[in-house]
Structure 1
Amino acid sequence: MKRQVFYSFHYSNDCWRTQIVRNIGAIEGNTPVNVSAWEEVKRKGFTAIENWIDSNMRYRSCVIVLVGSETASRPWVQYEIESAWKTGKGIVCIDIHFLKNQYGETCSQGENPLSKFFIDKTYNFIAKRKNAVDSNEIRLSSICKFYHPSAFNTYNDIANNIESLVEDAINIRK
């Protein structure tokens, strides 16, 4: 079954790699963002960006975080992860650093963006911080999967596994 997903990624670094994943076709993602449309939203400010993300994420069942070299440090990626958890969506990270960009280059592996968040086991509350405040909190990275495809057959590895990764992410939230 095709699922509706939202792709979270570092736009300026990983847009090309993201399009490669979107073209796999095993899942239904949001339509690619055109550069001028994204720049227009950014010019309107913080609240406009939040509203745009919330609107585009609304009817999605899973957020796929496509992780390149700097994805984990991007504030909007962090917002999308936090928002996905708060709204009960599945979350899965997929390492895309072995996919080539438009110049035929790969990038360095980025850190797991989920490791920046903690979940309170009792209240299911999400918080971004470096360390747990008590023993009742666990890292989001210990709940949600970060998939590392093969370095030699990255595209096919992602294509062959993306549906099950999405289903697993959704099932974690049930």
Structure 2
Amino acid sequence: MSALGAGGKGMARRTFFSFHYERDVWRATNVRKSSQFLTGVDSEWIDASLWEDAKLTGDAALKRLMDNAITGTSVTAVLIGADTYRRRWVKYEIERSIEKGNGVFGIYIHNIRDQSGWTDSKGMNPLPPHCRTYDWVYDDGRNMLGNWVSLAYKERIL
């Protein structure tokens, strides 16, 4: 579902990662782990079990958890997989991030190989038209993530 980290060249930006947990956690973990080796990118992730526990107590608890996670960030990266656009909570995270004034951008992750070595089909973009998108594999996400975070922060709508 989501994660929290920081990134960008120069001053680090705390970044909220939104994704379809059940389908894309392997690919999302690859994005997270790659940032460990970049200068100026500090990866700190919210354990997905928090989302699962909150689901048991209802929508209000889940929304509070997401709102609290987004509160401490200035950028939101939406990791776009095959079915991300269909996910109710990803849509909520995007809306809350924009309302808060976060810089928002998307990263297509379907070309990252999963644990079985397979890529996935490209999903529809769930972001508003003003948000930039990148392909993790073809746009060199491993080396460009910090730049993308910085640019999203500079281009945020306040």
Q: Give the structure-1-normalised TM-score.
A: 0.76
SS of corresponding position for 1:108: coil
Contiguous gaps of at least 5 residues in structure 2: 1-9
CA deviation vs aligned residue, 1:136-174 (integer Å, no higher than 9, x gap): xxxx22x110112445xx7xx101111111111111126
Gaps in structure 1 of 5+ consecutive residues: 115-139
CA distance in 2, matches of 1:12, 1:73: 13
- Larger radius of gyration between Structure 1 and Structure 2: 1
Pair 1:7-2:17 in alignment? yes
- Who is 2:4 aligned against? none
> How many residues are paired up?
143
2:148 alignment counterpart = 165
Identity within the alignment, %: 34
Match of 2:131 in 1: 144
TM-score (norm 2): 0.84
Identify the residue that residue 28 of structure 2 maps to in structure 1: 18
> 1:54: how far off?
0.7
1:105–1:93 distance in 2 versus 1, CA, 3 Å: same
CA distance in 1, matches of 2:74, 2:150: 9
The reply to whether residue 101 of structure 1 matches residue 88 of structure 2 is: no
Structure 1 letter corresponding to 2:133:
F
Judge which range, 25-34 or 78-87, deviates more. 25-34
Separation of aligned partners in 2, 1:42 and 1:75: 13
Runs of 4 or more, structure 1, over 3 Å off, are none
Cα deviation for residue 38 of structure 1 reads: 2.7
Name the CA distance, whole Å, in 2 between partners of 1:14 and 1:145: 20
Secondary structure, counterpart of 1:23 in structure 2: helix
Which structure would you say has the larger RCO, counting Cα contacts within 8 Å and 6 or more residues apart? 2
Return the offset for 1:102. Answer: 1.7
- Alignment map for 1:25-44 (pairs within 5 Å): 25=35, 26=38, 27-35=41-49, 37-44=50-57
The separation in 2 between residues aligned to 1:49 and 1:86, in whole angstroms, is 18
